[in-house]
Copies of this chain bind each other. A is one copy, B any other.
Amino acid sequence: MEEPRNIHDLEFIVRDYECDLQGVVNNANYQHYLEHARHEFLISRGISFIELHHEGIDLIVTRVEIDYKYPLRSRDRFIVKTFIRRDGNVRINFYQDIYRIPDNKLIVKAVVTGVSTRNGKPVSPEPLIEKIQEYL
């Protein structure tokens, strides 16, 4: 099956300190992977959190839904696939899936909702949208 061109891929390897007593990656660490993949995706589109922050604009996560399908273990390689859709006037949804490499086992399915704010108030995410519109 052909994959849409607008999916961003980022590869990782599990580091031992990310695993917990049960020998698998601790649930909270998947949020770290997803966050890092979102930031790398935005950077790849020329969007820097820090520069936006200095202009008074922040992209805030307001909701996450994560389905844990199968655990990752020490030294597993995996890929985070990130895909975005605008949702109404102020929200952007990041659809993020994690697949183990090389067998493509589905590990996590997540939807992360973000809102643009200017000086703390929700605003239209236009400055972001312009830069990432071919992805929407």
Contacts and interface: CB of A to CB of B under 8 A. Distances in A.
Nearest to A112: B27
B75 A21 contact: no
List the number of copies, as a whole number.
Answer: 4
Query: What is the interface residue range for chain A against chain B?
Result: 20 to 34
A23 B119 CA distance: 14
A68 B75 CA distance: 26
Interface string A39-64: 10001000001100100001011111
Given A16-B20, A19-B21, A68 B58 contact: no
Contact of A63 (B36, B43, B49, B68): B68
B74 A68 contact: no
